[in-house]
Structure 1
Amino acid sequence: MPSLKEIKTRIASVNSTRKITSAMKMVASSKLHHAQVMIENMLPYETMLEHILKTFLASEADASNVFTIERPVKRVAIVAYSSNSSLCGGFNANIIKLMQTVAAEYEALGKENIVIYPVGRKVAEKAAKLGYPLGGVFTELADKADVKQCIDLARELGTKFVDGEIDKVELVYHHFKSAGSQILTRKTFLPIDLKSELTKDHYRDLKSTVATKESQEYLRKRDTEQQASSPRMLDGKPLNDNFVVEPDMNTILKALLPKYAHLLLYTALLDSIASEHAARMVAMQTATDNADELLRGLNLQYNKSRQQAITNELLDIVGGSVNN
């Protein structure tokens, strides 16, 4: 049985740890509030822009471009979002596990053809340890969201995709749903994934203006046949009944596609930062609760041992007086 001094030392140690975890919980809660405001303000804008762009690309027969055409994957890039520090529960472990799962799907390409773009020190260290080539280290982004760096990263990935250096780009991050729920998310960045719009059940919705995959292919085939039979037939006509493009298709796509790309990276970054603070707040709250429970047990054990020591001393005194 431990002595009173040992129990008292352990109580002091647990108290000190509890003060640290309680302070870290309060700091994470404050940072979470600011991060939550940022993601709540940005997410509706990014979601609506993504919906408009994908609906436009899915509905227009002539709107396809190099960013929407899928091609055989020979080289892939994975943008993984983690944190720079620990003590946030399973936040980093879950991201690393999903990153390894995604990379394992492209294992046949070879490690040299799987490029990791790590946003955060934890995932950068793990990717380097596993032997994957890094497209750069963006540790500062994990601490402070910077729109300019997201634009530069989106431009770099887009340029490499157009030049054929990368055939596919995937994002791995936590989507912030609430303070107690962060959803591990895997999303295709390039080529632009239209399946989210094309695979929706629009057949029974008579008011829907979103084209299905079959109708999109039909429009392309019909326009090709009409241009072959009468090249002047389509001159001056709008592209279809849903959209009238001004001034022209290329101008619209040049304006929307870069904005969509950097907003997607920036929103994922804000999601990840908010999720990190939420995970740390929950982890520190759990640690504080565990410390409180441990203190209750130690205090009870200390009081029992002290009472037993007092009882033994009284018995020794009484026994000594009786013998005398």
Structure 2
Amino acid sequence: MPSTKDFRDRIRSVSNTAKVTGAMQMIAASKMNRAQNMVQAGRPYADRIRDVLGDLAALAAKDEDAPTVDLLKVRPVKKTLVLLVTPDRGLAGALVGNLQRAAGKFIQETEGEVSIVAVGRKGERFVTRAGQDLVASFSVPDRPTLDDTIAVGRMLVDEYSSERVDRVVLIYAKFINTAVQEVTARQLLPVEPAQRDDDDVEKLEELDYIYEPSINDVLESLVPRYIETQVYHGILEAFASEHSARMIAMQNATDNANEIVEGLTLDLNKARQESITAELLDIVGGVAALEG
């Protein structure tokens, strides 16, 4: 059985680990609150621009004589570009593993060539280890702004507009709540028009909006902004998911460390009692020998 000194050393080591994980939990909680606020503030705009774009695309699709917007053209998919958004650091529970498994499954199930644009070091390393085609890698700060991510969106638009790829898909962790992060794969390009039936399209036409110079020109200007917004919001969702997952992981680690300390303390007390009992027996035995 280990000595009392061994138990004390283990208790000290685990206690120090609990202090570190507790501090990391508080830091992650602070960052999580800030990231959640950014996500909640950006969701209404991201959802609204998606709805507006869907309505415009539905109206444009009904006009067969109008030229098709480049970023709405559907081509046979021979090459797919994946924007993979992952954390830069680990210690986020199963989040990184789930993202990597989802990306690997998507690559295996996709017909044709697949290339990757990575945002985050974990995704970059995964793509390199897997031997996939890494087109570019980006890193963004903990408090990203639209200016920090606009280069990513413009690159995706350029790759699709130049017909180097036929489809662009975003894979990221969607923030649901503090305990739930959902790995999501969503097509960005070509932009899919909203599913509207004839009655809905007629209602849109009855609104009698005036588009200057035309719906297609508005779409030509709006779609790149839409892609930039969706990329930015996807990165915000990924950051909120990362900090939430890390906070939960560090909380679990701290709780487990405290439980280990309690168990080691109990074992230390047992070892001390056994040591004291053995010493008492030795003393009693010595006294008895002297008296005999």
Common fold, TM-score beyond 0.5?
yes
The match for 1:52 is 52
Q: Aligned pair in 2 of structure 1 residues 245, 150: CA closer, same or farther (>3 Å)?
A: farther
The match for 2:163 is 164
The match for 1:89 is 93
Separation of aligned partners in 2, 1:82 and 1:174: 8
Contact 1:70 1:191 in 2 (8 A): yes
Give the CA deviation at 1:159.
Answer: 1.8
5+ residue gaps, structure 1, are 204-208, 216-238
Tell me which of 254, 262, 273 is aligned to 1:296.
Answer: 262
Contact 1:21 1:287 in 2 (8 A): yes
SS in 1 for 2:71: coil
Contact 2:56 2:215 in 1 (8 A): no
Check if 1:241 corresponds to 2:206: yes
Q: Aligned pair in 2 of structure 1 residues 148, 46: CA closer, same or farther (>3 Å)?
A: same
Offset from partner CA, 1:232-269 (integer Å, 9 cap, x none): xxxxxxx9324523212233213321221100000000
Q: What amino acid is the match of 1:241?
A: E
Contact 1:69 1:191 in 2 (8 A): yes
Q: Aligned pair in 2 of structure 1 residues 181, 163: CA closer, same or farther (>3 Å)?
A: same
5+ residue gaps, structure 2, are none
Separation of aligned partners in 1, 2:200 and 2:86: 36
The match for 2:150 is 151
Separation of aligned partners in 2, 1:243 and 1:99: 44
Contact 1:142 1:269 in 2 (8 A): no
Separation of aligned partners in 2, 1:52 and 1:210: 13
Separation of aligned partners in 2, 1:131 and 1:260: 31
Check if 1:21 corresponds to 2:21: yes
Q: Aligned pair in 2 of structure 1 residues 159, 257: CA closer, same or farther (>3 Å)?
A: same
Separation of aligned partners in 1, 2:16 and 2:276: 28
Separation of aligned partners in 1, 2:246 and 2:178: 10
| Backbone CA RMSD of aligned residues | 1.9
Q: How does 1:124-143 map to 2 (within 5 A)?
A: 124-138=124-138, 140-141=139-140, 143=142
Contact 1:96 1:126 in 2 (8 A): yes
Separation of aligned partners in 2, 1:193 and 1:309: 75
Give the CA deviation at 1:313.
Answer: 0.5
Separation of aligned partners in 2, 1:147 and 1:134: 23
Offset from partner CA, 1:89-110 (integer Å, 9 cap, x none): 011111111111111122x42x
Contact 1:83 1:142 in 2 (8 A): no
Contact 1:55 1:210 in 2 (8 A): no
Q: What amino acid is the match of 1:91?
A: L
Separation of aligned partners in 2, 1:83 and 1:179: 16
Offset from partner CA, 1:207-240 (integer Å, 9 cap, x none): xx634xxx9xxxxxxxxxxxxxxxxxxxxxxx93
Give the CA deviation at 1:154.
Answer: 1.5
Offset from partner CA, 1:289-324 (integer Å, 9 cap, x none): 001111110000000110111011011101110111
The match for 1:198 is 195
What TM-score, normalized to structure 2? Answer: 0.92
Q: Aligned pair in 2 of structure 1 residues 191, 142: CA closer, same or farther (>3 Å)?
A: farther
Offset from partner CA, 1:94-136 (integer Å, 9 cap, x none): 1111111111122x42xxx311001000110110111112121
Q: Aligned pair in 2 of structure 1 residues 43, 296: CA closer, same or farther (>3 Å)?
A: same
Check if 1:253 corresponds to 2:219: yes
Separation of aligned partners in 2, 1:240 and 1:34: 41
Give the CA deviation at 1:163.
Answer: 1.6
Check if 1:73 corresponds to 2:77: yes
The match for 2:30 is 30
The match for 1:235 is none
Contact 1:120 1:142 in 2 (8 A): no
Separation of aligned partners in 2, 1:149 and 1:74: 30
SS in 2 for 1:98: helix
Contact 1:84 1:142 in 2 (8 A): no
Q: Aligned pair in 2 of structure 1 residues 243, 301: CA closer, same or farther (>3 Å)?
A: farther
Percent identical among aligned pairs is 34
Separation of aligned partners in 2, 1:154 and 1:315: 78
What TM-score, normalized to structure 1? Answer: 0.83
